Amino acid sequence: MTDKRLYSERTKRTRTADDDRAARQDARVKRLSAVMYLNARPLYHGISQGIGGGRFSLVTAPPAECARMLVEGEVDAGLVPVAALARDGLYRVVPGVAVGCRGPVGSVVVHSERPIEELTDVVLDSSSRTSVVLLRLLLRRRLGREPRYVSMAPERLGEQVAGTTGALVIGDESMRLRGRFPFEWDLGGAWFEWTGLPFVFAVWAARAADLTETDVALLAESARRGEAALAEIAGGDPDKLRYLREQVRYALGAEEAAGLQRFFDLASDAGLLPEHRVSFFGERPRRRSSLDGLLGKAAAGERLSADDAVRLGEEASLFDLGAAADAVRCRKHGDAVVTYIIDRNINYTNVCVTACRFCAFFRPVGHAEGYTLSRETLAEKTRTLVEAGGIQILLQGGLNPDLPIEWYEDLFHWFKTEFPTVAMHALSPEEILYIARITGITLERTLERLHAAGLDSVPGGGAEVLVDRIRRQIAPLKCTSDEWLEVMRVAHRMGLRSSATMMFGSGETLLDRVQHFLKVRDLQDETGGFTAFISWDYQHDKGTRVVPGETGSHVYLRTQALSRLVLDNVPSIQSSWVTQGPGVGQAALRFGANDFGSVMFEENVVSAAGTTFCMDEAMIRRHIEASGFRPVRRNMRYELLA
């Protein structure tokens, strides 16, 4: 009797809480992002016309940006390219409506002077990941072709078409190019010929909790109104109207869903996307795979979604993560060798205008303790390095307004003349952007000039966490995530290699860290220019002003292991013993790391916050050996030296 009463009370309470939550959910304005292209407009036409009565707010953006806003929680739902469903694994799909095609679509086309089978290079717009995956899938699996892919800004794609170089152009730009080149390979058409199924490019997606039934119904209604208003949307242009009416399809029924699932199955089989099962609003939630299954998948090197990675980060034990990361590490690098490099960290100036809240190293312009190293000092430091067998310097500094590009060009020229055998691993993206800005030239030009002057590779510092919400909190004056990535994209395109880093523990969520990994992985898919990934936790002590989040060596090992599992396309993971101490640095070698960084002659940035670990070459070798590995020196490109 008592039990029954308690039970019914509890049930009632729970239901009330749920009702409240649903009511709150219902009352909140839903933020939506949608692809800005013409073909997507019918889907949000009703919303633009005000259905829902102020229930929705809408921003339009390029496809990748819509997906980014959704995963980073800046919007509640997004009309996103379908690749985002598999990449993130976090969303359900609004049924019934989509942007798709059944046969040629006209707006996702490879334009070229030669037939598709003869192309050796394809330039493309990296902001449309779905089209890029579809192209790679079709070429790899349908035609058995692997051309070089080079990404660039969409408005420049047409200029690149020549000989055996084609361009994958999407959206309105592709329609503009129609008829310009002799060969046009329509991806919608190729897909239909191959599979006999429709292709779905974009869908409304959201986390299960973020859309109510009413929201879902209104989104479907919005598209119905759009379909009824195609002429209005085409703005009187008969070509556009024909395109919207005849080539684009807005239905997402059983056949389209089958096409969508087929795409995910083929793309995951080809290693282009994580495995994914489409899940629709209104369906019963699917049972999740077991944690062991997921660990097995990770250890086997299969591509992980954001959801997979978050789940591993939340639920897997330290040792399960370690064992999976160790399996991946051993498959990539064998079980015998750990590499290291003899280089020297030189901080050429501590004068910096950025004033990051976690930094204890910088001094503002005009401060008595501000310095810029003289050439004599630099030469002396480099000579010590060369005497110790060193082959690289890592040159980084603050953003010093008194140093224009000519200063760096002179320095690099002089340095390469004095020390021709020493590689110049210099200037993090932040510094490169700053040099471009104060010199008043483009990023491309800046990198070209620095490269010509002797820059060999770009260190991946200053990435912190590549989620702008976090960057604004901890380093409000630093570049955005996209800018950071763009510097690397341009550098890689020029043949410069770079590393990538992450400083975590400054208040971000696990999903933020995973998003950081995925942004690096996405760019690596595009360029292949990253040599290694290095992560560490925020070193908080004197002089730092950010309240630490999840930090410490335990979280470090978990995070590093997870980075090894997610970054399936980045060759090396470096143990950060400089921040973690030699002992944890050793343990890190069983949690995914295959590289032990470099000899530390000096370190100024982390040590300004109180962390100081230094090792010479003999100590590095001893620590690697004591961990059961053979130490082998490497160069900047992570090539083993005998």
Partner 1 sequence: MTLDRIAEKVRAGERLDIEDGVVLFTTKDLLRVGVLANEVRERMHGDRTYFNRNMHINTTNVCYASCMFCSFARLEEGKPGAYTMSLDEAWGRLRAQDGNFLSEIHIVNGLHTGLPFDYYEELLRGLKRIRPEIHLKCFTAVEIHFFAEKFGMSYRQVLERLRAAGLDSLPGGGAEIFAARYRKKVCADKVDAEGWLQVHREWHRMGGKSNATMLYGMIETPEERADHLLRLRALQDETGGLQTFIPLAFHNEGNPLRKLPEPTGFDNLRVYAASRLLLDNVPHIKAYWIMVGEKIAQVAQSFGVDDVDGTVLEERIYHMAGAETPQGLTRKELVRLIKDAGRVPVERDTLYNVIWEEGQSVPERYSGVGANAGAIHLPVAS
Residues that bind partner 1 (CB under 8 A): 317-319, 322-323, 326, 550-555, 557, 580-587, 590, 622-623, 626-628
Q: 87 or 590, CB closer to partner 1?
A: 590
Nearer to partner 1, 227 or 550 (CB): 550
Give the nearest distance from C-beta 614 to partner 1 in angstroms. 11
In 256-319, DSSP assigns E strands to none
Closest CB to partner 1 among residues 18, 335:
335
The burial class, CB within 10 Å (0-12 / 13-18 / 19+), for 622 is middle
Residue whose entry in the numeric block shows the structure tokens 């859309």:
211
> Cα(636)–Cα(485) distance, rounded to whole angstroms?
20
Q: Return the structure tokens found at 313.
A: 């980060």
Report DSSP state, residue 54.
S
Residue number, 71 or 510, with CB nearest to partner 1: 510
Minimum CB separation of residue 359 from partner 1 in Å reads 21
Report, in Å, the least distance between residue 82 CB and partner 1: 37
Give yes or no for a contact between 361 and 608, defined as CB atoms under 8 angstroms apart. yes
Q: 569: helix, coil or strand?
A: coil
Cβ of residue 609: shortest distance to partner 1, in angstroms? 15
Give me the amino acid identity at 606: V
Residue placing its CB nearer to partner 1 in the complex, 220 or 587? 587
What gap in Å lies between CA 563 and CA 331, rounded to an integer?
Answer: 16
- Min dist CB 589 to partner 1, Å, is 8
Write down the least CB distance from residue 590 to partner 1, Å.
5
Helix residue ranges, H only, 354-442:
375-387, 405-418, 429-439
- CB-wise, 37 or 577, nearer to partner 1? 577
In degrees, to the nearest 5, what angle opens at C-alpha 515 toward C-alphas 510 and 521?
Answer: 130
The number of beta carbons lying within 10 Å of the beta carbon of residue 197 is 18
Q: Angle at the Cα of 91 (from 149 to 131), degrees rounded to 5?
A: 20
DSSP type of residue 264: H
3-state SS, residue 334:
coil
Beta carbon of residue 307, minimum distance to partner 1 (angstroms, whole number): 22
Cβ-based nearer residue to partner 1, 271 or 583? 583
- Check residue 140 and report its DSSP letter: I
Residue 3 CB, shortest distance to partner 1, in Å, is: 28
Whether residue 483 contacts residue 433, with contact meaning beta carbons closer than 8 Å, is answered with yes
Nearer residue to partner 1 within complex by CB, 104 or 582:
582
Query: 111: which strand partners?
Result: 167, 184
- Given the complex with partner 1, which of 115 and 628 has the nearer CB atom? 628
Which of residues 457 and 579 has its CB atom nearest to partner 1 in the complex?
A: 579
Min separation Cβ 502 and partner 1, Å = 18
**Rounded to an integer, what distance in angstroms lies between the CA atom of residue 232 and that of residue 250?**
16
User: Which phi-psi region, left, alpha or beta, contains residue 271 (left: φ > 0; alpha: ψ -120 to 50)?
Assistant: left
Contact partners, residue 241, CB within 8 Å, separation at least 6: 230, 231, 234
Q: Is 306 exposed, middle or buried (0-12, 13-18, 19+ CB in 10 A)?
A: buried
Find the helix packing angle between 443-453 and 481-493, rounded to 10°. 50
Encoded tokens for 89: 């694994």
CB of 616 to partner 1, least distance (A): 13
CB of 597 to partner 1, least distance (A): 15
Q: Which is nearer to partner 1, 404 or 552 (CB)?
A: 552
How far apart are CB 579 and partner 1 at their closest, in Å? 9
d(CA 301, CA 328): 6
Local structure of residue 105 (DSSP, 8 states):
-
CB-nearer residue toward partner 1: 456 or 537: 537
Nearer to partner 1, 100 or 585 (CB): 585
Closer Cβ to partner 1, 11 or 317, answer by number: 317
- Strands in 30-35's sheet, in edge-to-edge order, are 56-61, 30-35, 77-81, 199-206, 92-101, 249-252
In terms of CB distance, is 360 or 447 closer to partner 1? 360
Phi, psi of 212 (to 5 degrees): -85, 170
Nearest approach, Cβ of residue 334 and partner 1 (Å): 14
**Pick from 446, 436, 376: which is nearest to 411 by CA?**
376
* Whole-angstrom distance, CA of residue 51 vs CA of residue 634: 62
The CB-of-2 to partner 1 minimum distance in angstroms stands at 29
Q: For strands 92-101 and 199-206, give the pairing.
A: antiparallel
* Least distance (Å) between residue 390 CB and partner 1: 23
Strands 165-170, 108-112: pairing kind: antiparallel
